[in-house]
Amino acid sequence: MPSGIAFLASALVPAFAADTPQPWLDSKRSPQERAELVVAAMADDEKLKLLQGDNELDANGTGVNACVGHVSAIPRLGMPRLCMGDGPAGVGNGMKGVTQFPAPIMGAATFDRDLMNAYGKALGTEHAGKGRNVVLAPTINIIRTLKWGRLAETLSEDPYLTAQLGTAVTTGIQSVGLIATPKHFAANNQEWLRLGDGPAYEAIDAIVPERALRELYYPGFEAVVKQGNAGSIMCAYNRVNGVHACENPGILGNLRRWGFDGFVVADWYFAHRSTAPSVKAGMDISMPGGVSPFGFAQFYGIKELKAARASGAISQADIDGMVKRIVTPMFRLGLVDRPIAAANANTNVRDPAHLVLSEKIAEQGTVLLRNERGVLPLKAKTIAVIGDDAGANVQTSERYGGFVKTEDIGKVTSPFDAIRAAFGDKATVTYARGTLGIAPLPSMPSTAFENLTASYYASPDWKGAPIVVRKEAQIDYAEAGAKAGVTSLPALWSARWTASFIPPKTGAYRFSLNGGGEIALTIAGKRVAYVPKQSFRLATHGTVWLEAGKRVPLELAYSNAATLSPTELRLGWQTPDATLIDEAVAAAKRAEVAVVFVADHVSEGADRTDLKLPGDQDALISAVAAANPNTVVVLHTVGPVLMPWRDKVAGIFAAWYPGEQAAESIAALLSGKANPSGKLPVTFPADERSSPADLPARYPGIDKTVRYDEGILVGYRWYDAKGIAPLYPFGHGLSYTRFAYSGLKLARSGEGWTVRATVRNIGRQAGDEVAQLYLSMPQSANEPPRQLKGFTRVSLRPGQSATIEFPLDQRAMSYWDEAAHDWRLATGSYQVQVGSSSRNLPLNKAFNPAR
């Protein structure tokens, strides 16, 4: 299998000759000059066709289109097509023969610019191998609420970390001759009503103060433009301060002020809502093109654009400007001079070097949260590995959205097998499943229901009289409604099932809901499980205690208003059965150490309704920990979860969604082959009540409006400002060795400052430390108590020390003055703090930048 760069070279077709009579193909000219020349040479229809996707197949003879978004080439001018594709953690959209990388949040936990740049290069190389030349990544939206369904896809709750790593990924992608598309601009921070719901699909309106936009939600995008030279930016589905993001001049106008020379592409289907307003705001390409299956007209079709131009709503200069912004990055980044050929979408682009990189990211991005009594690395002779997630069902990635699906890469190693291989004959390793895990539970059988009645409504909100009322056997439909034989339903509909059942046993009953849309399960008057208007078919779990022989009512309400997938609907259950947990407890008692793997399943299209582990996994951990105090928990989760068992276990790893090398990476860390070095890019809360989005108006919003009135207090900024102790703070992460900080110094450097300190490994093992710089501004600035302004990763042998250095420029020391609409330095004393996390900062020094 060829290496990455060699493989990329083989995917390229020869460059156009420099002596061609077509001067825009002369690579010695500047990208801007070449863009102006080719725009002048284009026919009118050629220009207009560039402004909307056409979904044509690449002419590769395979009948498989690798392009999620496609703009056709202009062969007579030597201009290649644009082939766009998703891939926040590998080449997505159902592509096979690709590498499944760790989720970006795990990459962010490495705090390693170079590693994320290498990831960008590998990602770009595999996209190119599939014939793609525009990568719809990275996602750089700030984590505002921990319930956000796309939390794993983005980088941090912190704007500085997001900006630094987002820029690294962007430059990595573009270094191999592709266009990166950082997304989603701007204030796209929740899945709840991100598309709206039918029939109008009016998206959520984020009401965001100017200062919060400037200090939190813009910096990542500003950085990928100014430092990363991104060739494209994707505008978001949501509205911002009353106006849809893709036709919002107050949002998109910033890109040009930052020096952006590329194109703005609309998020697919729902983001583009107009012709003239979008053109005037600065949106350049509509995707995927054509009339939307969700009822929207096409706005950038040739007919629509010509009509808008004829009416004077837009001008020829507007169209020429849009076309120039599309072709400029094509020249600047090499798409014209070194075009990427259309390829067979089934081509295998996996590379052994990429698997090594994937495992390295997973090892360095796994965060050791707890290590009591030195339980880790494991030294035991007997180890019990427990959990459905420890077996064949290990959660390695999201299963929807643009992620690489596990079924598309083949079988992955189970953690149990990897741990057993890592320890070899040094330890006896046993396995117990312990739980059915996070998959949909077996369907609740027809024999369990009494008088199951379905009422179907010709509205998405159960309004009006039902159009069909009938008896049904069970709630298990591959496609609810039509497949259930109700042919009179409109495109948007809702239904309500009512029944009763008699629990056969006393105990905790598990239920699962599987389907897209909005679903609520109520049993004995208690809401047991809820699906919050999700786009895709995810499994949601709930538990309720019921007494045997006591009849209970059941109601399930369903609406398909928000779903983008077939309206599958399944009600699953598990009756009380202690067998699996009892087997896990028995295994834990027989072993010196128990390692419990748990997981969740969160994805694009659906926010979490709470921060609990799904199903009975908390109960499993508690039972195992009671049997064996040397219990280590491995969290394969989207991000933070609640830990009611934390003080009962000896060790905890935050292992995120670690990609296809999940098992190998965690085995290396458990065995001590690798030393943990990840740091939290997001705060882990102690409860669900203390987060910034603590009121319905702040999240998920009221009447399609969500108010960001927490302002700049997001993530650790909120916890620090409010004096709330998190479960684990931003930047936290333990190691198998120890580090000491000393020698903090500040020195003038031009208009800014340089901060220096010394880090020493005072432990007995080699390891990596991520040193972090935080800045506190004078009280007059009304800023959070501290903000991350620098970080650096150092590798140190026992006894070795290193001098670390952080630059502080004027912008880093400034706040946004809403009255002046500009950045300002505060008057008074500043303070720098250096240490290993936002709550462990042993070094500090005051200074006054005005002196």
At 196-235, the pLDDT tens digits run 877 778 899 999 999 999 999 999 999 999 999 999 999 9
> What are the chain's domains?
4-193+200-332 (3.20.20.300), 353-439+579-722 (3.40.50.1700), 446-573 (2.60.120.380), 739-847 (2.60.40.10)
Out of 485-489, 501-505, 546-550, 695-699, least confident range: 485-489
pLDDT in tens, 380-400: 999 999 999 999 999 999 877
Helix (H, G, I), strand (E, B) or coil at 321: helix
Rounded-to-integer distance, Cα 90 and Cα 124, Å: 9
Banded pLDDT at 5 (limits 50, 70, 90): very low
CA nearest neighbour of 589 among 430, 761, 363, 375 = 430
- List the 830-835 sheet strands across, edge first: 787-796, 767-776, 830-835, 843-847
Q: What is the pLDDT of residue 6?
A: 35
Please check the confidence at residue 843 and state whether its pLDDT lies above 90: yes
Q: Kindly state the average pLDDT of the residues 30-54.
A: 97
What are phi and psi for residue 537, nearest 5 degrees? -90, 85
Q: Kindly state the average pLDDT of the residues 426-430.
A: 97
Q: Kindly state the average pLDDT of the residues 473-484.
A: 71
Question: Could you tell me which residues come within 8 angstroms of residue 735 by beta carbon, excluding any fewer than 6 positions away?
Answer: 368, 675, 676, 677, 763, 767, 768, 769
Q: What is the pLDDT of residue 484?
A: 58
Please check the confidence at residue 11 and state whether its pLDDT lies above 60: no
723 is written with which tokens?
């004096």
Q: What is the pLDDT of residue 159?
A: 98
Q: What is the pLDDT of residue 134?
A: 98
CB 651 within 8 A of CB 672: no
CA nearest neighbour of 478 among 570, 573, 558 = 570
Q: What is the pLDDT of residue 63?
A: 53
Please check the confidence at residue 587 and state whether its pLDDT lies above 50: yes
Please check the confidence at residue 15 and state whether its pLDDT lies above 60: no
Please check the confidence at residue 490 and state whether its pLDDT lies above 90: no
Q: What is the pLDDT of residue 58?
A: 62
Looking at every residue in the chain, the average pLDDT score rounds to: 93
Q: Kindly state the average pLDDT of the residues 110-122.
A: 98
Q: Kindly state the average pLDDT of the residues 265-275.
A: 94
Q: What is the pLDDT of residue 17?
A: 42
Rounded-to-integer distance, Cα 76 and Cα 326, Å: 18
Please check the confidence at residue 479 and state whether its pLDDT lies above 80: no
Out of 236-245, 577-586, 683-692, least confident range: 683-692
Question: Could you tell me which residues come within 8 angstroms of residue 450 by beta carbon, excluding any fewer than 6 positions away?
Answer: 499, 500, 501, 502, 551
Banded pLDDT at 606 (limits 50, 70, 90): confident
Please check the confidence at residue 475 and state whether its pLDDT lies above 50: yes
CB 793 within 8 A of CB 112: yes
Q: Where are the alpha helices (DSSP H) in 672-732?
A: 716-722
Q: What is the pLDDT of residue 476?
A: 87
Banded pLDDT at 694 (limits 50, 70, 90): confident
- Residue 850: exposure state from Cβ atoms within 10 A (0-12, 13-18, ≥19): exposed
Percentage, residues of the chain above pLDDT 90: 82
Secondary structure E strands in 712-841? 739-749, 752-761, 767-776, 787-796, 801-808, 814-817, 822-825, 830-835
CA nearest neighbour of 185 among 260, 255, 236 = 236
CB 212 within 8 A of CB 240: no
Q: What is the pLDDT of residue 564?
A: 67
Rounded-to-integer distance, Cα 176 and Cα 354, Å: 15
Banded pLDDT at 851 (limits 50, 70, 90): confident
Q: Kindly state the average pLDDT of the residues 45-74.
A: 83
Q: Kindly state the average pLDDT of the residues 352-379.
A: 98
pLDDT in tens, 592-602: 999 999 999 99
Q: Which has more confidence, 501 or 751?
A: 501
Task: Tell me the C-alpha to C-alpha distance, in Å, between residue 361 and each of 102, 129, 186.
Answer: 7, 22, 28
- Highest mean pLDDT: which range of 463-467, 749-753, 831-835: 831-835
Rounded-to-integer distance, Cα 728 and Cα 369, Å: 7
Please check the confidence at residue 194 and state whether its pLDDT lies above 60: yes
Q: Kindly state the average pLDDT of the residues 76-82.
A: 96
Percentage, residues of the chain above pLDDT 70: 95
Q: What is the pLDDT of residue 342?
A: 85
Q: What is the pLDDT of residue 20?
A: 60
CB 108 within 8 A of CB 164: no
Helix (H, G, I), strand (E, B) or coil at 684: strand
Please check the confidence at residue 533 and state whether its pLDDT lies above 80: no
Q: What is the pLDDT of residue 7?
A: 36
pLDDT in tens, 549-577: 999 999 999 988 777 666 678 999 999 99
Q: Kindly state the average pLDDT of the residues 183-197.
A: 92
Secondary structure E strands in 313-412? 367-371, 382-386
Please check the confidence at residue 124 and state whether its pLDDT lies above 80: yes
Q: What is the pLDDT of residue 80?
A: 96
What's 298's DSSP letter? P
pLDDT in tens, 634-658: 999 999 999 999 999 999 999 999 9
Q: Kindly state the average pLDDT of the residues 802-814.
A: 97
Out of 476-490, 555-569, 763-777, least confident range: 476-490
